[in-house]
Every structure is written in structure tokens, then in C-alpha cells.
Structure 1
Amino acid sequence: MSQEPLPSALSHVRADGSAHMVDVSAKVETSREATAEATLHTTAEVLALVSAAGMPKGDALAVARIAGIMGAKKTSELIPLCHPLPISKVVIDFELEAAGSVRILATVKTRGVTGVEMEALTAVSTAALALYDMIKAVDKHAIIDGMRVLAKSGGKSGSWNIAPQQQENPQGELRA
């Protein structure tokens, strides 16, 4: 016997309190996109090796880029209540900063009935973890932080972006 969620209840929780996957079959298909970021902090010396593809394990950025793409594609297998989506495009970019940090950006696109924020977050976190794995032989103290969604578009709730001042200060008290 199936129990549907109560109208005022959380969307992923049935009346008896058990989790369920939301029925999205009645939703309108639209083009959807989401961008997420994370930052890996290391040393300037390690960053020089990364930018020169001189890490002991090989080209760290190439490996991290492929890992991020694979992560986006596997999101519904990793996050229990995510729907499998037809991913149209995944872009993984890296911004190397002289102080020794790498800003990782993931943008995911689809045409479907539910958003790709989780795919963008999974892509950026997988890319960050792969980058950490590639550099841990020379920097066991690297830190990954600042993972968040920066922007999304499409769907019933429309589009939004994090304000520029929040992008510059992710640890601030403002929230979008």
C-alpha cells in the first residue's frame, strides 16, 4: 500500500515518515543548468607542479576534470533520492591562484523535468577529491572547502545567482 506525502509535508517524506522518491512525471520539461564551486587550498610550490602537469601521478587537472564529469553522470547512483537525468553537458574549469589555491567550477546542463544542482555539486566535489588524491603525495595537508551552488536556471522556480559580494566572501553571513 503506497502512502503519498501530505500536501504540507516535506516532499521526500511520506505520511508515515519514510523517505520516498518524488514523482516528477507531471512536471514540464525545460532546459536546466547549474554551476557549483569548491576550492582546494595547497601551497604555491604544489600549485606550480599542478600547473606544469608535474605531479608524481601525472596531470592532476586532467584527471580531476574527467572525475568531475564522471561524478555528474553518476549522481543518481550516489545520492539516494536523485532522479537519473539525461546530462547534456558537463564543464569542469580550474582557476589557479598564486597564493596556492585552485577554484574548481562545474557547470551541468540537461533538458528534463528536474534540476541539476545535485549533479553540479557532485561534479565539483568529485573533481576536488580527485585533485586532492593527485596531490596528496606532495601535500597531505591540502584542504577542500567552499563547496556550494553558485547559480541555477530553468524549471518552475526559475533562475538565481549568488550575488558577486557573496562569491568573493563565501564565509560571510549573507546567503542567497
Structure 2
Amino acid sequence: MVDVSAKAPSVREATAAGEIIMAISTADLIKSGDAKKGDVLGVARLAAIQATKSTHLLVPLCHAIPVEAVSVKFNWLERSEDNSTPDSSIDRHQAVLVCEVCVRTSAKTGVEMEAMLAVSVGCLTVYDMVKAVERGIQIKNIRLLEKKGGKTGHYRRN
């Protein structure tokens, strides 16, 4: 484990995202609130927040740091007028749900892993809550979008 004892705490923030690709009928079920297990996005939001606080237990060598703010957003990817999406592997019969998580702390190390784990758990929770309806759901492109603070400064994915 990296020794951070000599570092001064500073404000740090990380934003990560991932996509869940599913049939349009599954998306309609989520949007209508008629999923058998309940409010899919509400439960997934809570799961993502909870994941940020458990990162050090799940990812070896991650420090236990105070998570001071978490924002979880789920947005449906809008299609263009020709019904296409930015990802050509997604056909017109599929819907894309984007999970984006932003985590903030004032600590000696960053929150990138907390943000990416939260996205992963949020996406997995969506899958779990609708897997009885569709097993072919895909979770893709989990990635760090932006990080602020710390020794290495600001990073933004192009």
C-alpha cells in the first residue's frame, strides 16, 4: 500500500461513467416504473453511493477515505434523427442508459476508484433488477471522465 502519511489532505473529485445497453422494451419497463423488483434507478443510485463507501474493502490496496459527496445520474442516450447512436455497435432496437458518478473528498488520496466502482455497481444493480426480463444486457465503457486535485492535478478524458 502506498504511504500517504506525509501528504496533506486536499479537495479531490473524480467523475466516471459507464453504459448499459438493453432492449427498448426493457428500457420502457424501467422508465414506467413497472419492474417487478421496484424502482430500478432509485435502487441502483443507492447501490452506487453505498459502493463508494466500500471501495477499500473490495479493491486491494485502496485507502479507506472519507467520501464527503456523491452524485449519481442516470440518463438515457438520445438517438439522432436517423435513429443512430455514437456507438455503431448499438442497433436501433436497443436503448442505452448512461450511469455517471461524481465523488468528492478532502483527503490524502484521490477518489477515482470510488467513482469507477460506483459506476460498476450501479450498472450491475440495473442488470440485477431486470435480468428476469432480459439476460442479454451489456455493461460497457466504464471509464474515468475527469479527476481534479492532488499532486497530478487535473485530468479530463478527451
Secondary structure at 2:146 match in 1: strand
Q: In structure 2, what residue type is equivalent to 1:111? A: S
The residue aligned with 1:101 is 96
Q: Give a deviation string over 1:71-124, Cα, whole Å, max 9, x none.
A: 011000001100000100111100113541100001100000000000001100
Q: 1:134 and 1:97 mapped to 2: Cα distance?
A: 20
The residue aligned with 2:147 is 152
Q: In structure 2, what residue type is equivalent to 1:57? A: K
**CA RMSD after TM alignment:** 0.9
User: Normalising by structure 1, what TM-score?
Assistant: 0.79
The residue aligned with 1:88 is 68
Q: 2:108 and 2:126 mapped to 1: Cα distance?
A: 32
Larger relative contact order (CA 8 Å, sep ≥ 6): 2
Secondary structure at 1:42 match in 2: strand
Q: 1:53 and 1:82 mapped to 2: Cα distance?
A: 36
* Structure number with larger C-alpha Rg: 1
Q: Give a deviation string over 1:142-176, Cα, whole Å, max 9, x none.
A: 0001000000000010011112xxxxxxxxxxxxx
The residue aligned with 2:117 is 122
Q: 1:97 and 1:115 mapped to 2: Cα distance?
A: 29
Residue 46 (1) aligns with residue 41 (2): no
Unaligned runs of 5+ in 1: 1-20, 164-176
Q: In structure 1, what residue type is equivalent to 2:136? A: H
Residue 31 (1) aligns with residue 31 (2): no
The number of residues matched between the two structures is 143
Which segment drifts farther, 79-88 or 92-101? 92-101
Q: 1:58 and 1:77 mapped to 2: Cα distance?
A: 28
Which segment drifts farther, 89-98 or 102-111? 89-98
Point out 4+ residue stretches in structure 1 off by more than 3 angstroms: none
Secondary structure at 1:148 match in 2: strand
Q: Give a deviation string over 1:10-63, Cα, whole Å, max 9, x none.
A: xxxxxxxxxxx1110111211000000110000111111111111111110001
The residue aligned with 1:17 is none
Q: 2:41 and 2:156 mapped to 1: Cα distance?
A: 26
Unaligned runs of 5+ in 2: 79-93
The residue aligned with 2:108 is 113
Q: In structure 1, what residue type is equivalent to 2:67? A: I
Q: 1:51 and 1:61 mapped to 2: Cα distance?
A: 9
